[in-house]
Amino acid sequence: MTLYNGSCHCGDVSYSVELELGKVIACNCSMCGKSGTLLAFVPVDAFQLKSGEDSLTEYTFNKHVIMHHFCKKCGIKSFARGKKPDGTPMIAINARCLDGVDVFALDVQQFDGASR
């Protein structure tokens, strides 16, 4: 496992996350397809919000089980909170917001969220 730091564009929202950044998911649902997120999922205890709780706003859609968090200032969605299909809480990390990660070198798995 590697410890990464991540943030929104303006830096008001920052966090650290411990994960093995192997495959990431490129989903084509209406949200991910328009925002271009590359997702990696981690347990809640692997994520620590360092700053910006008061800078976040939330958006949900479809089944309303994933809370997409956006920075109120710059609009970037660097992570989301939700639940796995079995109900276990998880964090969805936008790999594009992790410091020092070459997203073009990642193993990207396509996910057809538009059909779900």
pLDDT at position 31 is: 82
Instruction: State how far the Cα of 112 lies from the Cα of 107, in Å rounded to an integer.
Output: 16
The segment with the largest mean pLDDT, out of 31-35, 83-87, 97-101, 112-116, is 97-101
Mean pLDDT, range 27-51, rounded to an integer: 92
Is the distance from CB of 1 to CB of 85 less than 8 angstroms? no
Query: 87-99, pLDDT tens digit by residue?
Result: 999 999 999 999 9
| pTM for the full predicted model | 0.90
Mind listing the domains of the chain with CATH numbers? 2-115 (2.170.150.70)
Residue 63's CB: how many other CB atoms inside 10 A? Answer: 8
pLDDT at position 71 is: 96
Q: What does the chain look like in DSSP terms, one character per residue?
A: -EEEEEE-SSSSSEEEEEE---EEEEE-SHHHHHHT--EEEEEGGGEEEEE-GGGEEEE--TTS-SEEEEETTT----EEEEE-TTS-EEEEEEGGGBTT--GGGSEEEEE-GGG-
Query: 41-77, pLDDT tens digit by residue?
Result: 999 999 999 999 999 998 877 777 789 999 999 999 9
pLDDT at position 110 is: 92
pLDDT at position 116 is: 79
